[in-house]
Chain A
Amino acid sequence: MTLLLLLLLQSPHARLEGRVPTAALPGLDSLIEQAVAESLPTEPLVQKALEGGAKGIPVPRLVNGVRHGLVQLRDARAIVSRATPARASLDGDVAAVAAALARGLDPGLIERLLSAAPPPEPSPGEPPGPVLHAAADLVAHGFPADSAAELLRAAQRQGLHGTRLLDVAVAASHELQREGGRTPVEALARVRAMLPNVPVASPPHPRTVTRRPGRGS
C-alpha cells in the first residue's frame, strides 16, 4: 500500500520515463499539463500512455491516443456539468463518464442516466460507473438504448444501486439468449417483471487468490 501511494505521488513525467519512447514524452507532458490546467483527472491519460508504451504503439499513434483520451475527458466533464449542475464534478465521475464514452455509449443517453437518478438520490455521490456500465452492457447486447435506460431507471426506483445494476444487464442478456425467439423487448419486459429480484452474480472462489501485484513491481 505504501509503495502504491509513493508511486501515485510520483509526477506523471517520472512514471512515464523509461516506459514510453523518449520521443513521445514532450507531447505526453504537454497533454497532461493541459489536463492539469483544466482541472481534469490525469490518471486516465497516464494509464493510456503506459498502455501504449507497453504495447509498443508507434509514437504518433501513442500521442494521438492520449490526446483522444483528453478530448473524452473534456466531453465527459461537460456531460457531468450539464447532468448534475448542482454538484461539483468529481474526478471519479468524469473518468467514469469518459469510460462510458469510450465504450460507445451515446452522450445524450449518459446525460439522461446521470440526471435521472431517482429523487431523493439513493446515496448522494454514488459513483455513476455501474449504471453507465450496465447501460453499455445492454446496448452491446443489442437492446435499444432508450429501453435499456428505462429498465435501469425502473431498477433504481425499485431500490437497486451500484453493482446490482450490472446484475440487471446480465439478467436481460440471459433472457435474450434463451431459445424460443425472445425479442429484446420481451426480454426487457421479463426482467422488469423480476425487479428487484434479479439473480446476484456469484463471486469468484477466493481460495486460489493472490494479492494484487503492486504497480510498477
Chain B
Amino acid sequence: MTVIDPRVQEALDGERDPATLPPELREDYARLTGAAALLGAAPATSVADRVMAQIREIRREAPAPRPPNWLLRPVTFRLRPVWTLAVAAAVAAVVFLPLRESATPGAEEGVAQFVGHFPGARSVEVVGSFNDWQRGALALRDEDNDGIWHGAVVLPAGQHEYMFVVDGERWVADPLAGRYVDDGFGAGQQNALLIVRP
C-alpha cells in the first residue's frame, strides 16, 4: 500500500508551502507533482504520428524510383452503377470500421491510465486479466527517457488485476495502484488491482 506522508499530502492540497518540506519529502513532492502533470497532459505526438513521421523521413531520403511503364499507361474501367454502390460500401467499410476502434469509451467502458517509474528500463508492459495475461499486448512508453513510463487504454468497467513486466522478465506490482490482492500462488506476491469506472 502506498502511503503519502501527510505533510506531502498537505503540500499537494495547497495547504502547505512545498518549500517548507524536509528535503527528502520535497523529492517525493516533486515526483508526485511530476506524475500528476503527466497524467493530465497529452504527449506532443501519438505513437502513430511519430511512426508516420519516420516513414515520411525515410521516403524523403530514398531516391525516387522510376515507375514502370505499365503504371503510367492510362487504363479505362467500365463499371455498372450497381457495382459502384458496392465498391463505395466496401470503401466505406474499410475507412470507417477502424474508427469504431477509436479511444472513446462505450457506456460500459472506462479509461485506465498506467504510470510507472522505472529508470533505465528498456521496456515496460502491462499484463493482466484484461488481456488474458498475454505478454506483448500493452506496452508503456517513455518518449523523453526520463524513466517515467505511461500509457492509457479503454477497458470494460469493473475489476482488473495486472502487473508491470519490466525488461521482459521482472514482474512488478504497480507501486501507485493503491489496491492490491494476493496472487494466490503461495509466495505472498501481490497483483495490483484496478477498478475501471464507466
Contact = CB atoms under 8 A, between A and B. Distances in A.
A200 to B, nearest CB: 10
A204 B111 CA distance: 6
Nearest to A204: B113
A112 B195 CA distance: 22
B153 interface: yes
Interface string B160-198: 010100000001000000110111111100010101011
B79 interface: no
Interface string A57-68: 100011011001
Contact of B111 (A55, A206, A213): A206
Max count, chain B CB within 10 A of own CB: residue among A52, A54, A62: A54
B101 A211 contact: yes
B3 A177 contact: yes
Contacts of A166: 195, 197
A11 interface: no
A140 interface: yes
Secondary structure type dominating chain A contacts: helix
B144 to A, nearest CB: 14
A212 B154 contact: yes
Given A65-B185, A129-B159, A211-B101, A205 B41 contact: yes
A201 B191 CA distance: 23
Interface residues of A, number: 52
A129 B184 contact: no
Contact of A57 (B159, B163, B185, B195): B185
Given A204-B112, A204-B113, A208-B42, A216 B153 contact: no
A13 interface: no
Contacts of B153: 209-213
B153 to A, nearest CB: 5
Interface in B122-151: 127, 129-135, 137-138, 151
B112 to A, nearest CB: 7
A177 B9 contact: yes
Interface stretch (B66-74, B82-90, B102-110): B102-110
A208 B185 contact: no
Contact of B184 (A48, A174, A177, A211): A48
Given A177-B3, A204-B112, A50 B133 contact: yes
Nearest to B132: A215
A141 B154 CA distance: 28
B93 interface: no
Contacts of B9: 174, 177-179
A39 B41 CA distance: 47
Contact of A65 (B10, B131, B183): B183
Contacts of A55: 133, 163, 171, 183, 185
B148 to A, nearest CB: 14
Max count, chain A CB within 10 A of own CB: residue among B42, B184, B191: B184
B38 to A, nearest CB: 10
B101 A64 contact: no
Nearest to A102: B181
B159 A179 contact: no
B119 interface: no
Given A203-B111, A205-B40, A208-B46, A217 B131 contact: yes
The 7 A-B residue pairs with the shortest CB-CB distance, nearest first, are: A213-B137, A204-B113, A209-B103, A54-B133, A65-B185, A179-B6, A209-B152
18 contacts: A47-B133, A48-B184, A51-B161, A52-B185, A65-B183, A68-B184, A96-B159, A104-B182, A129-B195, A166-B197, A177-B4, A177-B9, A206-B104, A207-B103, A208-B151, A209-B103, A213-B138, A217-B131
